Amino acid sequence: MSRRIFVLLLILMGIALIGIVTVQIYWIGSTVEMREQQFSTSVKYALAKVSENIQKREFKDNVIKFAPLLDSMQVSKERGVKDFFYRQIDTSRNEIFTFRQSILENNYRTQISPLESDTINFKTFISKQETQIEKIEFTSKDFTELSPKDKLVKIDRLDKYDKLQFENYFQNIVSRQPIYDRISNNEIRLNIDNELRSRNIETNFDYGVFNEDLITKVKSTHFEKESGSSYQVPLFVDSNGESDYSLYVNFPEKKEFILSAISKNLILSAFFILVIMLVFASSIYQLIRQKKISNIKTDFINNMTHEFKTPIATINLAIDSIKNPKIIDNKEKVIRYVEMIRQENKRMHAQVENVLRISKLDKKQLDMNKDVVDLHQVIDSAISHVDLLVKSKEGYIKKHYKANLSEVLVNSFHFTNVVVNMLENAIKYSEEAPKIDVYTENARNKIILKIKDQGIGMNKKVQKKVFDKFYREQSGNIHNVKGHGLGLAYVKRITEMHHGTVYVESEKGKGSTFTIKLPLI
């Protein structure tokens, strides 16, 4: 996959993810908004019903209160004037409130046309109201001496039609009563609760009754008027559609109630968004990883090809030289060319063994029989493998064994290879004569092995990847440093299989220190 196609694929996947997430978020927002509208509509209908219930209840109470007076009156059908007279003495205000309403009934008769004798009878009603407030000083004794007629009501000449007008009569009377005498907190609370529950709204609420802009005593304990978020409905509406009182209701847990109503949908939506994002992230990771592996394998193949080309070419050249009639009879030269072939063949065999060894590690097919050995002896054996190579480059390996306890449970063969790989790595990445120091020391129940060189070193970025399989700082077909990125990967895997840890500390241009920690017996 080319870099351009890879980048284009990432962009398309990113756009698709953003589109899907945007649609999901829009759907969630639309759902919440729709639920808020449904909530507001249901609350408004519920409060309208509450206002209606309260007004009906007050009307019934007044009908019951005044019904005996209405039923006891003698009604005259002949007179066209009907009077309703009400007097109330308010001792708290020192006043007498008088209300009077007169209804004049007129009967009319008219012919349908001049040529016909049929007539139509119809009535008209003219209503007149009078209200009077008289200030007076009196004692409780004065009040008790008033007759029931003076205290309550004088009603004259009312029939069934007048009963239909009764609501209009007492509206003018009860409007003078304090709001807390007309309605109680318990009535409002129960009405609101019943109407909300009938509409499946079960959440806490606060309420307050206002007279214009002033709050009355009829309110819940924690009520506070919130501009723009309180729901309002008029109370005790008169015949003209006007009212002095308004009921305000707040829902402090409105958002929680709305979200809880769609919680299942929200959880599912959030879950699917998360799944989509995880799948997308996993896909991106796999693409990047596959791209990285592809690049690493390409580099590995290039490196291995070069590693094999040189010995193969050398072997072919040696074979051709041996076949030369002038050389075949020269025993000394034949032996030298045969030795050259053997060394190059051994070199290729070592390359193949490294690859096979890592493959067996990946498949967990590597034999790992462990024995109790002295780590110092393992290190000495490893140093002997590379000693000639170091001396040929005029370098040195110095040992600093400070560990008093050095017995460990390891596979001697593989752990010797681990130390050899680390020493070879130090030799390869030393531009001048390799100068290597090997340290051991004890720390609690562990032994620490350090191999320090004075080579080219590495930066922080390389240190994080140096133990990755196939990784090389100088990749591609660059071969100022030989290798194929398997040695340190093998070191890490074998160390971990012995319950140890390995890490590197390095600085560019100042060398590296590789550290292995192993548990003691």
What is 305-337 written as a DSSP string? Answer: HHHHHHHHHHHHHHHHHHHSHHHHT-HHHHHHH
What does the buried/exposed string (b/e) look like for 22-58 if buried means 16 or more CB atoms within 10 Å of the residue's CB?
eeeeeebeebbeebeeebeebbeebbebbbebbbeeb
The structure tokens listed for 413 are 């063969």
Rounded to two decimals, the pTM is 0.45
In 3D, which of 137, 180, 173 has the Cα closest to residue 155? 173
Looking at residue 150, its pLDDT comes to 43
Residue 137 neighbours by CB distance under 10 Å: 6
Q: pLDDT at position 143, please?
A: 41
Averaged pLDDT in 10-residue chunks for the chain of 521 residues: 71 81 82 88 92 86 64 44 57 61 55 50 53 55 43 43 56 71 89 91 90 87 79 84 88 86 79 82 80 72 67 81 82 84 77 68 66 94 85 91 94 87 88 93 94 91 81 49 64 89 92 94 83
- Give CB contacts under 8 A, 24+ apart, made by 6-12: 6/287, 6/291, 9/287, 10/284, 10/287
Distance CA 210, CA 222 (A): 15
Strands (E), 273-429: 371-374, 396-401, 407-410
> What confidence score (pLDDT) does residue 421 get?
85
Q: Which of 257, 289, 304 is nearest to 475 (CA)?
A: 304
What's the token pair of residue 157?
């000449």
> pLDDT at position 410, please?
92
| 336 Cβ neighbours under 8 A, 6+ residues apart | none
Are 390 and 434 within 8 A, CB to CB?
Answer: yes
Question: What does the block give as tokens for 58?
Answer: 């007050």
- Amino acid at the residue 141: K
List, in order of start, the domains of the chain with CATH numbers. 76-157 (no CATH), 292-366 (1.10.287.130), 368-519 (3.30.565.10)
Give the other-Cβ count within 10 Å of 484's Cβ: 20
Q: In this structure, are residues 500 and 519 in contact, taking their beta carbons and an 8 Å threshold?
A: yes
Handedness of CA 401, 406, 412, 415 (dihedral sign): negative
Contact between 233 and 196 (Cβ < 8 Å) = no
Q: Which residues contact 28 (CB under 8 A, 6 or more apart)?
A: 266, 269
Q: Cα–Cα distance between 90 and 143 in angstroms, integer?
A: 10
224 residue type, one letter? E
Tokens of 172: 């003018």
Taking the C-alpha atoms of residue 414 and residue 491, their distance in angstroms, rounded to an integer, is 9
- C-alpha–C-alpha distance, residues 382 and 416, integer Å: 5
CA–CA gap between residue 103 and residue 124 (Å, rounded): 10
